[in-house]
Amino acid sequence: MTGWTTANILSTLFGAALFPFMIAVAWGKMVEVFGAAGGWVAGFWIVGVSWLLNHGLGLHHQAGDVWIDMAMAAFVGLFVQSTLAGGKPGKAVPALISGVLGGLLGGLILSIMA
Amino acid sequence: MWKRIIVGAFGGAFAGVGVFVIWPSVLYHLNWWGGFFAAGTIIPIAWFINHFCGAIPNDPEGSWVDMAFPIGLSAIFGGIVQVTKDGPVRAAHGIFTGGNPLPSMQTLAVQFVGACIGGLLAYWLLSAGKKEA
C-alpha cells in the first residue's frame, strides 16, 4: 500500500460506504413515494452529491492510473445489502454475466473514442 | 435468457459509455457544478432503462446487480474520455488502452471494504422494525 496516508484510507472507506448506503436507503423509498419521478430525482441527487464528495472533492484516493469509480462501491454495497436481506447470489448470475459483458462492451467503445 | 443477457449488456454499456464521456466532459466545461449536474444528465435515464424498465435481468429472488457494475467495469476496461474544446482527449487509461490495473487494485480493495460496511449499515436500517436485529 504505497502512497496511502491514513487519511486516504479512511476517506476512501467512508466515501465507499456512503454511496451504496444512500442508494439502498433512499432510492427505493423515493420510488415508493413518488414513483418513477422519485427515481429520476434520486438519480440526480444521490449520485450527484456522492460524486461531488467521492470524486469532485476527492474522498476516493486513486492509487493507480486505471480509474476506480465509486460505481464499483455501489455495486458491491448493494449486492451485500440485498444478499443480507435474503437475496440469493446464485440467482443473480445472469445479471452478473450481462454486467460483465456490458462493462466489456462499454470499455471497448470508450477505448476507441480517444 | 440469453436475449435478456444481451439486452442487459447493451443497457450496461450505454450507462458506462454515457457516464465516462458525459461526466468528464461536463466537468471540463462547468467544473464541480458541471460534475454535479452530469449525474442528473446520464444517471436517471440509465436507471430508468436498466432498472425501472428492467434491461438488466435482475431476478426478484436474487441478490441485486446494480447498473453500477457495468459502469465501474467500463472505466476499468476502457478508461475515461473527456471531450474538451479541442475534441476528445483521453483522461484516464483503461486495460484496453494499455493502463496497468495492478496499482488501482489497492483502491478497489479499500473501496470493497467500505462498500461492505455501507451495505451492512443500510441492511441494519432497512431491517429495523421488521424483526428484532
C-alpha cell at B53: 424498465
Distance in Å, alpha carbon of B101 to nearest chain A alpha carbon = 6
Q: Is residue A103 part of a domain?
A: no
Number of domains in chain A: 1
pLDDT over 60 at B117, yes or no = yes
- B14-27 pLDDT, tens per residue? 999 999 999 999 99
CA distance A34 to A28: 10
Q: Is residue A33 part of a domain?
A: yes
Distance in Å, alpha carbon of B53 to nearest chain A alpha carbon = 10
Task: Give A-chain residues touching B57 at CB under 8 angstroms.
Answer: 94-95, 98
Q: Is residue A95 part of a domain?
A: no
Q: Is residue A100 part of a domain?
A: no
Q: Is residue A109 part of a domain?
A: no
C-alpha cell at B24: 468528464
pLDDT over 60 at A24, yes or no = yes
Q: Residue A17: which domain range? A: 6-88
Closest by CA position to B95, among listed B85, B114, B108, B113: B108
Strand-pairing partners, residue B62, are A88
**Bigger pLDDT: B58 vs B1:** B58
Task: Give A-chain residues touching B103 at CB under 8 angstroms.
Answer: 63-66
Q: Is residue A17 part of a domain?
A: yes
ipTM attached to this prediction: 0.93
Q: Is residue A51 part of a domain?
A: yes
Instruction: Give yes or no for B24 touching A (CB within 8 A).
Output: no
- B36-45 pLDDT, tens per residue? 999 999 999 9
**pLDDT band with cut points at 50, 70 and 90 for residue A3:** confident
* pLDDT for position A2: 67
Q: Is residue A104 part of a domain?
A: no
